[in-house]
Amino acid sequence: MAAKLSPGDLLRFSTTSLRGHGLRTGLSLLGVVIGVMAVVILTALGDGARTYVVDQFASLGTNLLIVLPGKTETSGSMGMGGVPNDLTLEDAQTVERSILEVSRVAPVVMGTEELAYGERRRQLAVVGTTRKYAEARDLKIARGDFLPAGDMFRGSSVVVLGAQAAREIFDEADPVGEIVRVGGWRMRVIGVMATQGTKLGINFDDIAIIPITTGMQMLNRTSLFRMVIQVQAYADIDSAKDKVIALIEERHEEEDFTVLTQDSMMSTFASILDTLTLVVAAIAAISLTVAGIGIMNVMLVSVSERTREIGLLKAVGASSGQILTAFLTEAVFISASGGLLGLALGWTAVKILVVFFPALPASPPTWAVTAALGLSIAVGGIFGLLPARRATQLDPVAALGQR
């Protein structure tokens, strides 16, 4: 009776073809590498984008409602809509005085103007608002003070500068108390904000903040850009939102505005990111499927080229199960090696990306790494099964007779 072959003999048999056909093996490996790299990089970007969005909305402040002029939904009959009413300071004042759940309201206008001091001048964003804006958005002051408290209808020629704007205009000198020009208006600097960074597209380090009434006159605005409302407790947000809608709708005689909550905005972004994740999964599945077909073709060629070797193995006592294991090992070795290499290259690419874009906290989630590696190994096993079964079905006498 012929002796059974050891696992070492079968392993050497399964790796001989890989070493002998390096180019063919490398091309099969490449398909798996690309598929796994795609999973790692794209899921890392998606997870990083999700974290970035959450952090950005957290930086807005807590328990906030945002009121915007104009309705984001289409409604009404054709020809009956007209131009929406302005969102006014009177609206802001009425909301703050009438709704008990509201702790503070900060009206906001925005534009771009020139900041000038002596011979130095630069364009920057100008925000008109009130002191309550700093309280709602949790803005920190490094020097001086924020806008004075008081009647929102009373303008004054004072300005608070962002950290970068103050540094570029005044160098190391203290700007507090100095007179600058903002959009041609002479204004006294009363404060400089601490470094804040960019929050939802607004760079608070490169900004000039002025009183709301002055801002509306300077920027020639009749409508507010938005109204920031802070609610006393998170549990009251939905109730406060309903009351704000009812109150402003009564004043405008139509719902020509939009009220957003932080949760609704975050859920919108989350749904977008979830869709992108599904797209990533589909791309990865297609890529790995193509790689699996490549592995199957390589293994079929390998079986046809090694017919005599398979016949010899059977002649010396190798069972069909051992032949099957040898060829499956070969296929899984290709896919597993490609998966590990794809993980390494994908992880390296993500780290390099974070170096160049530190604001995006990209990191591949554990589930994506595990799924990508597991799927790559499974692809090798599934697509290697057909060639392996074909090898076990060869007749040893006929196989030995082939040249």
Q: Average pLDDT for consecutive 10-residue bins of the chain (403 residues)?
A: 54 60 68 82 79 65 82 47 74 92 92 91 92 87 90 87 92 91 92 83 87 93 90 86 91 86 70 73 73 73 63 63 73 82 89 82 80 81 71 54 50
Cα 217 to Cα 278: distance, rounded to the nearest angstrom: 48
Q: How many helices and strands, by DSSP H and E, does the chain display?
A: 12, 12
Distance CA 147, CA 33 (A): 57
CB 379 within 8 A of CB 288: yes
Count of CA atoms in the C-beta half-sphere (13 A) of 140: 7
Q: Supply 229's token pair.
A: 């409302």
- Any idea what the Cα angle at residue 338 is, between residues 332 and 344, rounded to 5°? 135
d(CA 299, CA 287): 19
Return the HEC string of 363-379.
Answer: CCCHHHHHHHHHHHHHH
What pLDDT shows up at residue 8?
A: 61
pLDDT at 232: 87
- Give the residues across from 226 on adjacent strands: 108
The pLDDT of residue 78: 36
pLDDT score, position 116:
93
Whole-structure pTM value: 0.61
Q: What is the pLDDT of residue 56?
A: 63
The helix/strand/coil state of 110 is: strand
Q: How do 64-69 and 226-231 pair as beta strands?
A: antiparallel
**Do the beta carbons of residue 354 and residue 364 sit within 8 Å?**
no
User: What is the model's pLDDT at position 169?
Assistant: 92
pLDDT the model gives residue 199: 72
